[in-house]
Amino acid sequence: MTAYAFLMPFLAVLAVFFFYAFGRAVYYSFSDFNLFNTPHLIGLKPYGDVLSDTNFRRALTNTLLYAVITTVLQTVFALLMAVVLNRRLRGLAFFRAAWYMPSITSSVVITLIFLWLFQRRGAANYLFSQLGAALPVVGAFLLLLVVIQAVQVAWERSRSLPARALDPALLVVSALLAGAVTAVLTVTGVLHVREAVPLDYQYFADRWVQVGGVQVISVPMLVIIAQNVFTTVPTLMLFFLAGLQGVPGALYEAAEIDGATPVQQFLNVTVPMLRPVTFYVVTVGLIGTLQMFDQVAIIGSAAPQNTIVTLAYYVYRNTFQNGVAPVNLASAAAILLALITLALVFVQRRFFVAPESGS
């Protein structure tokens, strides 16, 4: 009884704010409720109205594309970041703390920062214009870096010394030599930094990535994807980092004895051993991205609504719009969003299930 007594506050909150609210939403989704009338059941008409609404279809497309792209990117980058931070490096504690900072910063603050970065006169356009002006110098540096590194690796291997293509020590030497040669070529006038042409690209305009003449995803949504990846990767990195602590070092030693390269060790040891963690990270990522709302609400009228509207924001807009609010349509859209989330998680569990689940 003591255990149930401790559980009662949580169960009461869950019953009121989840089960009761969900039941009311289901009821409203089959009614004509508009926030000011007495609801009457009208069958599946609200669902038909929602599915025939062009705004809903655009919100559905935006949400699914956003969820898939963001989940893939944040999972890949979180895994790579965890692998880097799992090594013995100087200042490791500092880098772990610094890379985690975006995840503990307010979503409102991060969204406003990205709005500033991608304004017409923002930092993004300025950096791209400066990069375009210095492109000949940057290109020459990268070309020299590749050539010098290749020569050094070939020289070391000709002396029967082990040398990887991206050997850190050789890479530092190559970068220093490439930088010195590039500086000499620039000072002597062989290379020139062109005059920067101001870039006037509008990221929060009605711009789309098109495939075959079909609008697929908007540029403002790509900015939101970049922001979400930036803020969620550090948190997901912690899950992978915890999983890496449980990978036996003997597996890497055996793979190294068998002649496996670092890339082969990553693909054939690290990735399979982290499969349960990856399953959890992808599940959490899908659920979170399908419910994305705050960035769209904060951006507001800074971008055309059809370019960034998501299912969660579609529900909000229909519930709290001016005048008579079609709460029945908002409830129907919310139920559809819940069903889509459950379906995607089920499909992922069915085809990408973790080994411990008994498949």
Whether the CB-CB separation of 222 and 209 falls below 8 Å is answered with yes
Q: CA distances (Å), 149 to each of 22, 88, 140, 185, in order?
A: 61, 25, 14, 19
Whether the CB-CB separation of 194 and 130 falls below 8 Å is answered with no
State pTM to two decimals. Answer: 0.84
Whether the CB-CB separation of 218 and 205 falls below 8 Å is answered with no
Whether the CB-CB separation of 333 and 291 falls below 8 Å is answered with no
| Per-residue pLDDT at 354 | 47
* Helix-strand-coil split of the chain, %, nearest 5: 70, 5, 25
Count other Cβ atoms within 10 Å, centred on residue 93: 9
Distance of alpha carbon 72 from alpha carbon 333, whole angstroms: 25
Distance of alpha carbon 143 from alpha carbon 135, whole angstroms: 12
- Report the number of secondary-structure helices (H) and strands (E) in the chain: 18, 2
Any idea how long the chain is? 359
What is the tens place of the pLDDT at every residue in 133-189? 888 899 999 999 999 999 998 998 888 887 777 777 888 899 999 999 999 999 998
Distance of alpha carbon 166 from alpha carbon 146, whole angstroms: 10
Give which of 129, 258, 98, 97 is closest to 194, Cα–Cα.
129
Q: For 6-20, give the secondary structure using H, E and C.
A: HHHHHHHHHHHHHHH
| Per-residue pLDDT at 92 | 66
326: which residues sit within 8 A by CB, 6+ positions away?
34, 318
Q: CA distances (Å), 11 to each of 21, 138, 158, 287, 359, in order?
A: 14, 61, 71, 23, 32
End-to-end CA distance of the chain: 36
For the chain, list residues with pLDDT below 70. 88-92, 322, 352-359
Residue 136: how many CA atoms within 13 Å on its side-chain side?
A: 12
| Per-residue pLDDT at 357 | 43
Distance of alpha carbon 132 from alpha carbon 182, whole angstroms: 17
Where do we find the tokens 């000949």? 136
Distance of alpha carbon 277 from alpha carbon 281, whole angstroms: 6
* Strands annotated E in the chain: 208-211, 214-218
- Tell me the H-state helices in 208-326: 219-245, 249-257, 262-265, 271-273, 275-290, 294-299, 305-308, 311-319
Distance of alpha carbon 26 from alpha carbon 324, whole angstroms: 20
Distance of alpha carbon 189 from alpha carbon 191, whole angstroms: 5
